[in-house]
């Protein structure tokens, strides 16, 4: 596969590993922010290739995992409305709210459809004018423009039965929140490639300027990740601190302005509620006044009580990089991929699921 196989080349990987070994002197802890990176790191076994000086910790970049239980409860309320069809990306189906999941609700008869793209949900709205189609807006900056584009189209077509429930999250404010909490020591970030394809490098400047933590924007193949680690290690050994793009084939410094315009046309910033991290200012999105008629909360009262803690579940700490999966008493016992308890085991990109799959007992 073009632009892929080159970055899976074992000889090339070996070369980069040697370069890392030569360069690395100072013990460092880097956080891979993105769930897709977490899975790639576990699957390729590249942690085993790294010198002892380099530790990788997983962060809050699995969109399904960081969705607050209160938001799942709101989604459950929505799918229980007789005229509502919920359209969602598949990963969210099994994520637990306070007392149910979309999967359980579907089994009880709720109309829940898995879609491949937001335009599939638009098509449902065109075909079923007697139904209210609610697209679930879960995801980071990579997904947000795709939901925005559907809302833009719905407004143009006057599709009044196309609604969005926006639980979107913005990643840079979460990095800010992690660093300002000072709960976990991080020397640099392996930053998400496709989020940065959209937002560009500018939003990471705060991490660099205020906190002095290097950022490498990384692709998803093993050689990409190794090269990004080399970039971070080089910066630390050379006492530099910058945002550097490793994933140049997919990321421009300015990002994708057209996609950002689409986001800004439809959404405005609001407080975001994160599982594990709590409320973070300016990290969420709500529909602008012009689009408010397409907001699920404009049609339904989605007030829910605060969700209680899930007894024993340490997903919050896992998402903050404070705890690793085996340190949780439920891991591999009460909580497994076939019968998951916490969201980090539910999602295929969750740290616990990746750990379970690639670290045999």
Residues of the shown chain interacting with other proteins in the complex, contacts defined by CB under 8 A: 1-4, 6, 11-12, 14-16, 18-19, 34-36, 62-63, 89, 91, 116-120, 139, 142-143, 145-146, 149, 192-194, 197-198, 219-221, 223, 227, 230-231, 234, 244-246, 248-253, 256, 258-259, 262, 349
Q: CB nearer to other proteins: give 62 or 296.
A: 62
Q: CB nearer to other proteins: give 34 or 179.
A: 34
- Between CA 12 and CA 23, with CA 17 as vertex, the angle to 5 degrees is 130
- Between CA 165 and CA 172, with CA 171 as vertex, the angle to 5 degrees is 135
CA distances, 223 to each of 8, 160, 208 (Å): 6, 47, 24
Q: CB nearer to other proteins: give 235 or 283.
A: 235
The backbone torsions φ and ψ at residue 29, rounded to the nearest 5 degrees and listed phi first, read -125, 115
Alpha helices in the chain (DSSP H): 10-23, 35-44, 69-79, 102-107, 118-127, 144-157, 171-181, 193-199, 205-209, 222-237, 257-266, 296-299, 315-319, 343-346, 351-358
Q: CB nearer to other proteins: give 212 or 257.
A: 257
Q: CB nearer to other proteins: give 63 or 172.
A: 63
**Smallest separation (angstroms) from other proteins to the CB of 250:** 5
**Smallest separation (angstroms) from other proteins to the CB of 55:** 20
Q: What is the Cα–Cα distance from 37 to 118, expressed in whole angstroms?
A: 24
**CA end-to-end distance (rounded Å), the chain:** 34
Q: What is the Cα–Cα distance from 247 to 94, expressed in whole angstroms?
A: 32
Q: CB nearer to other proteins: give 119 or 212.
A: 119
Q: What is the DSSP string of 282-326?
A: EEEEEE-GGGGGGBHHHHS----PPPPP-TT--HHHHHTTSS-GG
Sign of CA dihedral 84, 89, 93, 96: negative
Q: What is the Cα–Cα distance from 74 to 207, expressed in whole angstroms?
A: 33
**Smallest separation (angstroms) from other proteins to the CB of 181:** 25
Q: CB nearer to other proteins: give 185 or 252.
A: 252
**Smallest separation (angstroms) from other proteins to the CB of 230:** 5
**Smallest separation (angstroms) from other proteins to the CB of 136:** 12
Q: What is the Cα–Cα distance from 184 to 179, expressed in whole angstroms?
A: 8
**Smallest separation (angstroms) from other proteins to the CB of 11:** 6
**Smallest separation (angstroms) from other proteins to the CB of 110:** 23
């Amino acid at each position: 596969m073009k632009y892929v196989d080159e970055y899976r080349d074992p000889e090339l990987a070996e070369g980069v590993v040697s370069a890392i070994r030569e360069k690395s002197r100072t013990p460092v802890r880097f956080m891979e922010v993105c769930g897709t990176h977490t899975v790639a790191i576990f699957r390729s076994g590249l942690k085993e290739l790294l010198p002892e000086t380099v530790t990788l910790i997983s962060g809050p970049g699995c969109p399904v995992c960081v969705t607050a239980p209160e938001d799942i409860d709101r989604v459950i309320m929505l799918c229980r409305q007789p005229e509502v069809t919920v359209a969602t990306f598949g990963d969210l189906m099994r994520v637990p709210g306070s007392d149910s999941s979309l999967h359980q609700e579907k089994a009880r008869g709720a109309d829940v459809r898995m879609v491949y793209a937001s335009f599939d949900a638009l098509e449902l709205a065109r075909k079923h004018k007697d139904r209210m189609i609610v697209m679930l807006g879960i995801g980071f900056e990579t997904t947000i423009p795709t939901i925005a584009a559907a809302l833009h189209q719905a407004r143009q077509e006057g599709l009044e039965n196309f609604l969005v429930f926006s639980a979107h999250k913005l990643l840079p404010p979460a990095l800010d929140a992690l660093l300002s909490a000072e709960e976990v020591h991080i020397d640099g970030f392996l930053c998400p490639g496709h989020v940065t394809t959209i937002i560009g490098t500018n939003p990471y400047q705060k991490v660099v300027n205020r906190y002095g933590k290097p950022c490498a924007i990384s692709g998803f193949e093993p050689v990409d990740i190794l090269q990004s680690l080399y970039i971070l290690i080089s910066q630390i050994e050379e006492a530099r601190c910058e945002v550097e793009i490793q994933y140049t084939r997919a990321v421009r410094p300015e990002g994708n302005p057209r996609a950002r315009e689409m986001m800004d046309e439809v959404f405005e910033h609001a407080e975001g509620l994160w599982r594990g991290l709590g409320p973070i200012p300016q990290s969420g999105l709500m529909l602008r006044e012009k689009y408010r008629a397409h907001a699920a909360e404009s049609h339904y009262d989605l007030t829910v009580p605060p969700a209680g803690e899930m007894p024993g579940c340490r997903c919050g700490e896992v998402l903050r990089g404070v705890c690793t999966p085996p340190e949780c008493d439920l891991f591999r016992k009460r909580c497994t991929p076939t019968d998951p308890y916490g969201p980090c085991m539910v999602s295929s990109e969750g740290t616990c699921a990746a750990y379970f799959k690639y670290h045999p007992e």
